[in-house]
Amino acid sequence: EPEVTQTPSHQVTQMGQEVILRCVPISNHLYFYWYRQILGQKVEFLVSFYNNEISEKSEIFDDQFSVERPDGSNFTLKIRSTKLEDSAMYFCASSDRGAYEQYFGPGTRLTVT
């Protein structure tokens, strides 16, 4: 069964450093998403991506964040200068149609120290 994969599973970084979180969506999907979940809290939308551009982004997704689909398989989230409050689980998701069910990867736990 196709699945979304994410690497690394856990990333520890120092405040101010840049991190890149990587995702490989399900191969025939066209819509890609990043969400985050601070420990013990709800899942929050960050950004959606379709047809090689951002469809929508939340208030959380400020200038420190960027997304890219550098090739036909990877989808990345970059945080330019990490802050302590960026510590969270980051989930990538993909869907074959907008507004339909999204399939999530296992997540990357980001710890900023």
Partner 1 sequence: AQKVTQAQTEISVVEKEDVTLDCVYETRDTTYYLFWYKQPPSGELVFLIRRNSFDEQNEISGRYSWNFQKSTSSFNFTITASQVVDSAVYFCALSEGGNQGGKLIFGQGTELSVKP
* Bridge partner list, 24: 5
Candidate segments 12-20, 31-39, 67-75, 78-86, binder of partner 1 by CB under 8 A:
31-39
* Sheet strand arrangement including 19-24: 5-7, 19-24, 75-79, 65-68
In angstroms, give the least distance from the CB of 109 to partner 1: 8
In angstroms, give the least distance from the CB of 71 to partner 1: 22
Helix (H, G, I), strand (E, B) or coil at 40: coil
Task: State the binding string over 49-68 for partner 1 (x if CB under 8 A, else -).
Answer: -x----xx-x----------
In angstroms, give the least distance from the CB of 55 to partner 1: 3
Residue 83 to residue 73: CA distance in whole angstroms: 29
Is residue 31 within the footprint of partner 1 (CB under 8 A)? yes
User: Is the Cβ–Cβ distance between 26 and 100 less than 8 Å?
Assistant: no
* Bridge partner list, 23: 6, 75
Residues that bind partner 1 (CB under 8 A): 31, 33, 35, 41-45, 48, 50, 55-56, 58, 89, 91, 93, 95, 97-107
